[in-house]
Amino acid sequence: MLADHQSVLTQTERWCADGLRPWLCTIVETTGSSPRPTGSMLTCLESGETVGSLSGGCVEEDFLERLSRGEIDDTRPQLLEFGVSPEQNEKLGLPCGGRMLVAAQRINKDCVSWLKPLSDSLQQRSCLLRELDMQSGKTRLSAANEFQPLVFENGLLRQVFGPQMRMLLVGAGQLSHTLAELALAMDYEVLVTDPRQAMLDQWNGPTVRLLQGMPDDVILKHADDRFSVVITLTHDPRIDDMALMEALETSAWYVGALGSLRTTEKRKERLSALGVASDAINKLHAPVGLDIGSKTPIEIAVAIMAQLTLLRRTKTQP
């Protein structure tokens, strides 16, 4: 899920509870280059308040201008087109040839009946399918087993909402600081755990949840689902091995460990001796990240995030 979906849905529900009628906009199709991917969402009021994004701001401004001129019918959902001419591309800041279709729906208090369950589902880290009939304006929710890309065809918008990817970093050292910064910028929820309270006390990275405790207990409580990433970074096998023994037996989508090829082989031998099944050990991404010759913390962080991005763009995406 795009991280801002939760904030968009929450704000939309909040405005409805206040008796306001916001607009909920979703990018349903892009052609050529686009500043935001399909599925990106925006909620806004005619007064100009917005949460979420369809572009860098120009598409949002154009939409609000159309609203102010009364050009958009609010009796049922509308399909709006942006970037249909070179002049509009230049005005909206869309790349040459870029085109964007946006489904815009006027929301009222009756919509809380599906907004709240959808928001609650995301907080519970489960998937839910929203189907919007553009002709009738009716919305239907149903359970979904896994996240899938948005589909728009024959006037029906089908969008699966899933929880934000959660990254649990084991170890509160310098590399965790750098990786947390990059992961937050890429829409991950980041948690950091370390059994050494002194390391947590010295944390000077970004504002994230710091969890003191034994890593296996923390993983079982906070990272035991298929929307979780667990990466060990302490260089201390007493901590990393304990974390990996638990993480490799959970439903976590990705488990990685920092270390050289030689360190990795020794780690796998230890895990096997500790009774971890070979199938579980084979799930381990180690050395963690793409092999780009990284040495510094920022280079290693880039390699890790690049590998996660690559995997999320393939069939292995949760």
Give the C-alpha separation, 283 to 184, whole Å. 24
Predicted local distance difference test score (pLDDT) of residue 187: 81
- Residue 43 structure tokens: 């909620």
pLDDT at 86 over 60: no
231, 176 contact by CB (below 8 A)? no
Burial 128-155 (b: 16+ CB within 10 A, else e): bbbebebeeeebebeebeebeebebeee
> Which three-class secondary structure state does DSSP give residue 15?
helix
Opening angle at CA 182, ends 176 and 187, nearest 5: 115
Q: What is the pLDDT of the chain when averaged over all its residues?
A: 90
Mean pLDDT over 15-39 rounds to 88
- Residue 147 structure tokens: 């996240």
114, 13 contact by CB (below 8 A)? no
pLDDT tens digits, one per residue of 107-146: 998 899 999 999 888 888 888 999 999 999 999 999 887 7
Give the C-alpha separation, 28 to 41, whole Å. 10
Give the C-alpha separation, 77 to 23, whole Å. 10
Q: Could you tell me the pTM of the whole model?
A: 0.71
pLDDT at 1 over 50: no
Spatial CA neighbour of 165 closest among 242, 254, 229:
229
